[in-house]
């Protein structure tokens, strides 16, 4: 194992093209993280078409490194301007912004960068340590379990939607239904495609992902107004020396960073909890575990370090269910999983047997990209901060053009543009009426896998596949997840109505 570990490190670092893609991914990730309203999910959705046809390793490394560092860059606008790049960065505002107001922006940025970097590395280490533990469990899975895992994946991600679990489930099922478009592998019937030849190969995943994620985000950005130019640009002035001081301060709180990184990584393993939960849980942990908590909320560096280390370490954790079970650990991982499938990576236990090298390369990519982002941002933060002022009016048409380009490049079929238009309307409806979209990505990605697994399981065991021990456990987990979500929704509603009575 150690030999594989070291060999893959050498393989990655000596491959000029893979390293170039890693650095490119890191830089693009910094851009998407720094501009409020863009974020990692959109970054993957928009760049998938450009990695299509690339060598598997280079493409996978590019996407993962880009996704891994968006959180690191997202904190810049949180700390300097009180504007979170994404929901995950909101916890950093509580102490990061007051620090900036007190003239300690550089220290806050430095400590958050270092905490993010360390968190990302610890997340990768947790993943690496858990590989030998998870291997015997994963290898016990058969097609029957993979069918139920697909359903469990949708249930878990629908769970992200909190009280709106029904909406989440519907969106996941909708994604699965669209996965059935095209030639049925068993009977050769062209399902839902009639005489439209471009649909016989199935609905283009890239077009669907762009329509559901990229276009609605841009329309939404235009509707709510993307400009935050009211904030003073002077706040963006930070010195490298102050940031280095912040880095050093992070090491003074090494035990807190270690604890929060571990918590974040384990939250990442549990599908559905997401980065926002990781950040707030660790913020709460930092407050509760400190002897002098009176400074929290007024500019305490521990309030920056704790959520940032958790947010980045969760990415390593969420790779575990994504890679070995095909169940994405977060919404971003759901889109990443779809992108990897397009590249030809088949998630599941066989990755551990046949593609262990690739797994290790991804772990190393996670480590290197996190460290690279810290080093890069230490020197270019003041310029990256200016990206916060990029006007929505300029950003929207450019992203829309990239979306159209991606659709045309994916399969070279102009008909997909019409599909993009139709699905974008549905995608925007989902966003506007608060239907969670990540379950769609899982549904459309796992739909085909679920169908193949079901047919295999049926051929092997007929109805007995429902009563296999692992199947029963997975069915139980699906039922418990839905029941708990319904219960949680009921409690939330009860709390809200009692709060209203109180008012």
Partner 1 sequence: MSASDHDSEDRPTFLRALTHGRTLFSLLMFSIFAVMVYVAWDYSWPANFLPFVIGFPGMALTLLQITLDIKDFFANKGQIDPRTDFEKYMAELSKHTEGLELDYAKEELGTLVEDHSLVAKSRNRQELILFGYFFFLLAIVLLFGFWIGTPIFLFLFLRFYAKESLKLSLMITAGVWLTMYLILVVLLEQIIFEGHITNYVVDTYLSD
Copy the structure tokens of residue 466.
């429902």
Q: How far is CA 143 from the centre of its chain?
A: 26
Q: How far is the CB of 380 from partner 1 (least distance, A)?
A: 21
- Which of 317/436 has CB closer to partner 1? 436
Site for partner 1 in 416-445 (CB under 8 A): 417-418, 420-421, 424-426, 428-429, 431-435
- Note whether 414 binds partner 1 by CB under 8 A: yes
- Note whether 36 binds partner 1 by CB under 8 A: yes
Q: How far is the CB of 110 from partner 1 (least distance, A)?
A: 21
- For residue 107, CA distances in Å to 10, 97, 176, 309, 408 come to 35, 11, 47, 16, 45
Give residues with Cβ within 8 angstroms of 232, minimum separation 6: none
Binding mask of the shown chain, residues 342 to 381, with x at each position contacting partner 1 by CB under 8 A? ----------------------------------------
Q: How far is the CB of 435 from partner 1 (least distance, A)?
A: 8
- Which of 425/472 has CB closer to partner 1? 425
- Note whether 475 binds partner 1 by CB under 8 A: no
Site for partner 1 in 446-465 (CB under 8 A): 450-451, 454-455, 458
Characterise 326 by phi-psi region: left (phi > 0), alpha (psi -120 to 50), beta (else): left
User: Tokens 């007995």 map to which residue?
Assistant: 464
Q: How far is the CB of 17 from partner 1 (least distance, A)?
A: 14
**Quick one: CA dihedral 117, 390, 84, 216, positive or negative?**
negative
The rounded distance, in Å, linking the Cα atoms of 259 and 282 is 9
Q: Which of 16, 103, 412, 469 binds partner 1 (CB under 8 A)?
A: 412
- Note whether 176 binds partner 1 by CB under 8 A: yes
**Quick one: CA dihedral 203, 217, 390, 393, positive or negative?**
positive
- Note whether 85 binds partner 1 by CB under 8 A: no
Site for partner 1 in 248-277 (CB under 8 A): none
Task: Name the one range near partner 1 by CB under 8 A: 6-14, 355-363, 378-386, 400-408.
Answer: 400-408
Q: Which of 33, 59, 84, 338 binds partner 1 (CB under 8 A)?
A: 84
Contact 451, 125 (CB under 8 A): no
- For residue 461, CA distances in Å to 183, 348, 448, 466, 467 come to 25, 21, 20, 9, 10
- Which of 94/361 has CB closer to partner 1? 94
Task: Name the one range near partner 1 by CB under 8 A: 93-101, 114-122, 256-264, 353-361.
Answer: 93-101
- Note whether 283 binds partner 1 by CB under 8 A: no
Helices marked H in 35-104: 39-51, 56-81, 90-101
- Note whether 287 binds partner 1 by CB under 8 A: no
Total residues contacting partner 1 by CB under 8 A comes to: 71
The rounded distance, in Å, linking the Cα atoms of 463 and 317 is 35
- For residue 293, CA distances in Å to 115, 288, 301 come to 20, 8, 11
Task: Name the one range near partner 1 by CB under 8 A: 138-146, 240-248, 257-265, 414-422.
Answer: 414-422
């Amino acid at each position: 194992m150690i030999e594989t570990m070291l060999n893959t490190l050498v393989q990655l670092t000596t491959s000029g093209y893979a390293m170039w893609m890693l650095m490119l991914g890191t830089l693009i990730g910094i851009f998407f993280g720094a501009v409020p309203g863009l974020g990692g999910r959109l970054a993957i959705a928009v760049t998938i078409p450009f990695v299509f046809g690339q060598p598997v390793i280079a493409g996978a490394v590019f996407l993962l490194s880009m996704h891994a560092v968006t959180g690191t860059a997202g904190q810049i606008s949180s700390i300097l301007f009180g504007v979170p790049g994404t929901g995950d960065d909101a916890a950093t505002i509580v102490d990061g912004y007051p620090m900036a107001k007190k003239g300690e922006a550089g220290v806050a940025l430095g400590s958050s960068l270092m905490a993010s970097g360390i968190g990302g590395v610890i997340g990768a280490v947790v993943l690496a340590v858990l590989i030998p533990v998870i291997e015997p469990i994963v290898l016990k899975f058969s097609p029957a379990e993979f069918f139920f895992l697909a359903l469990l994946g949708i249930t878990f991600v629908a769970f992200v939607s909190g009280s709106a679990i029904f909406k989440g489930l519907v969106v996941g099922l909708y994604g699965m239904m669209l996965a059935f478009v095209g030639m049925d592998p068993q009977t050769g019937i062209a399902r839902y495609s009639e005489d439209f030849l471009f649909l016989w190969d199935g609905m283009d995943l890239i077009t669907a992902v762009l329509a559901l994620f990229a276009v609605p985000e841009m329309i939404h950005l235009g509707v709510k107004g993307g400009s935050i130019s009211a904030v003073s640009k002077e706040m963006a002035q930070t010195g490298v020396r102050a940031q280095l001081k912040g880095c050093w301060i992070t090491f003074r709180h090494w035990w807190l960073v270690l604890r929060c990184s571990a918590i974040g990584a384990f939250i990442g393993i549990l599908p559905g909890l997401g980065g926002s939960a990781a950040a707030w849980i660790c913020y709460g942990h930092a407050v509760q575990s400190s002897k002098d908590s009176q400074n929290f909320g007024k500019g305490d560096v521990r309030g920056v370090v704790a959520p940032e280390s958790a947010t980045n370490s969760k990415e390593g954790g969420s790779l575990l269910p994504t890679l070995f079970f095909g169940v994405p650990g977060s919404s971003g991982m759901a889109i990443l999983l779809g992108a990897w499938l397009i590249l030809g990576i088949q998630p599941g236990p066989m990755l551990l047997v046949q593609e262990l090298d690739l797994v290790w390369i991804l772990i190393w990519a996670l480590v290197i990209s996190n460290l690279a982002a810290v080093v890069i941002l230490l020197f270019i933060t003041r310029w990256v901060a200016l990206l916060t002022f990029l006007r929505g009016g300029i950003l929207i048409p450019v992203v829309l053009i990239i979306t159209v380009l991606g659709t045309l490049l994916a399969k070279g079929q102009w008909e997909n543009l019409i599909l993009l238009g139709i699905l974008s309307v549905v995608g925007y409806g989902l966003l506007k009426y608060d239907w969670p979209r990540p379950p769609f990505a899982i549904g459309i990605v796992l739909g085909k896998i679920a169908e193949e697994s079901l047919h295999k399981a049926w051929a092997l065991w007929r109805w007995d596949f429902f009563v296999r021990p692992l199947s029963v456990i997975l069915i139980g987990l699906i039922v418990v997840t839905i029941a708990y979500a319904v219960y949680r929704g009921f409690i939330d509603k009860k709390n809200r109505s009692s709060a209203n009575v109180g008012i």
